[in-house]
Structure 1
Amino acid sequence: MSILNPNERNQNLLLLISAMGLIPIALSYGLFPNKTLTTMYGFSVENINLTHIMRAVMGLYFGQIIFWLIGLGNASLKLPAMYSLVVFMGGLVIGRLVSIVLDGIPHWILLVYLFLELSITIIGTFLILRKTHN
Structure 2
Amino acid sequence: MANQLIKNPKNLNLFLSGVIVIIAGIVYGGHPTYIMPELLGFEVVDLELKNILRAVMGIYMGVGLFWVLGSFEPKLWYAATLCNVLFMGGISFGRIVSTVFDGVSPLFTPALMLELLFFGWGLYNLKKYSEME
Residue matched to 1:128: 126
- Pairwise CA RMSD: 2.3
What is the TM-score when the length of structure 1 is the normalising length? 0.88
Alpha-carbon deviation of 1:72?
2.0
Where does structure 1 differ by over 6 angstroms across 4 or more consecutive aligned residues?
none
Residue matched to 1:87: 86
Per-residue CA deviations over 1:105-127 (Å, capped at 9, x if unaligned) read 22x22111000000000011011
Between the aligned partners of 2:119 and 2:32, the Cα distance in structure 1 is 27
1:100 counterpart = 2:99: yes
Whether contact under 8 Å (1:33, 1:54) holds in the other structure is: yes
Between the aligned partners of 1:15 and 1:9, the Cα distance in structure 2 is 12
Whether contact under 8 Å (2:19, 2:68) holds in the other structure is: no
Unpaired segments ≥5 residues, structure 2: none
Alpha-carbon deviation of 1:23?
2.2
Unpaired segments ≥5 residues, structure 1: none
Deviates more, 1:78-87 or 1:19-28: 19-28
SS in 2 for 1:109: coil
Deviates more, 1:38-47 or 1:124-133: 124-133
Residue matched to 1:69: 68
SS in 1 for 2:114: helix
Residue matched to 1:14: 13
Provide the aligned length of Structure 1 versus Structure 2: 130
